[in-house]
Amino acid sequence: MTQNKLAVIAFGGNALLKSNQKGTYAEQIQNVTETCRCLVPMMKAGYRMVIGHGNGPQVGNVMLQHKAGAETYDVAEMPLNFCVAETQGSIGALIEEGFRCIFAEEGWDRDTVTLLTHVEVDPNDPLFQNPTKPVGPYCTKEEAEIYHDETGDIYREDPKGNGWRKVVASPKPIRIQNIKLVRQLADQGIIVITVGGGGIPVANIDGCLRGVQAVIDKDLASAITAVEINADEFYILTDVPKVYINFRKPDEKALNVITVSEAKQYLEEKQFTEGSMAPKMRAAIMFVEKTGHTCIITEAGRLGDPACGTRIVPDKA
């Protein structure tokens, strides 16, 4: 069994789909392959890897497809948890294809596998009453108002100014199903893709795990995965090279290394936007507090730099 480091890497949305793209297969496979290529330095260093990923745009598009099919062809519309399962499989296939392209380029004989992963939440989680997780395509404020009037769905403005998006409940994950299998496969040197889109949301209802209408935060689900498999490092890939305070203000400042206490203070000061950097920072804090290891938040293209990104580290003893 290899003694090399084990890393959990959470792919950000731009690893799959950029804001100016429609989401075609060609666009997504190109984006995914570029992201996978950025992991080559870590693979050459002997890292074992477990990959998590988001699905916000994709699951929203699947929901729209189901809705259109129901309205036009009387095809049964599926619930949100089913849509998450669909995107877990399709995005996992994209990431596997991206890795296999890299393996061929490097002449490596390696394996990668996607695990459709259920993630348990508390059915009484109060977050079910406060939807915050953006899904689906961007729209204008006027379109969002029309959609809200037609469906009752809630829309909120994107903090980066890209438009408005539908938001759904995002309860906290409490248990990752088949987590022992994830660790076993990673220990064999297989790249494991799991908790896709935060996992297929299920809750214990009358003694059975049943699907619920939610999208779980992929960074938090990936952080719990990293804790449960005792990962040495946890990476959250996003579209900025570092985390910033006073973001997009004249006194903007990039953060290189911060302690858990400093991260918590910045959260209290509301330096990080909900739906953007705030959940990433909470996931980082949770991982570091429970393991004593380091979390790195950065762009995929910076992974070859040993000093890349913002590093969240434990408080000094």
The answer to whether residues 232 and 293 touch, using CB atoms and an 8 Å cutoff, is yes
Say what the pLDDT of residue 179 is: 98
Helix (H, G, I), strand (E, B) or coil at 39: coil
pLDDT at 250: 95
* Section 257-265 average pLDDT: 98
Q: How confident is the model at residue 3 (pLDDT cuts 50, 70, 90)?
A: low
Instruction: Tell me the C-alpha distance between 58 and 116, whole Å.
Output: 16
CATH number (3.90.25.10, 3.40.1160.10, 3.40.50.1220, 3.40.1280.10) of 6-313 reads 3.40.1160.10
Token digits of residue 253: 């400042």
- Listed by start position, the domains of the chain span 6-313
| Amino acid present at 170 | S
Side-chain half-sphere CA neighbours of 140 within 13 A: 3
Going by pLDDT thresholds of 50, 70 and 90, the confidence category of residue 49 is very high
Residue 243 backbone phi and psi in degrees, to 5: -85, 145
What phi, psi does 113 have (nearest 5°)?
-145, 145
**How much of the chain, in percent, has pLDDT values that exceed 70?**
99
Which residues does the annotation mark as catalytic? 13-14, 133, 218, 280
Terminal Cα-to-Cα distance of the chain (whole angstroms): 32
Helix (H, G, I), strand (E, B) or coil at 130: coil
Global pTM value: 0.91
Instruction: Give pLDDT tens digits for 175-225.
Output: 999 999 999 999 999 999 999 999 999 999 999 999 998 999 999 999 999
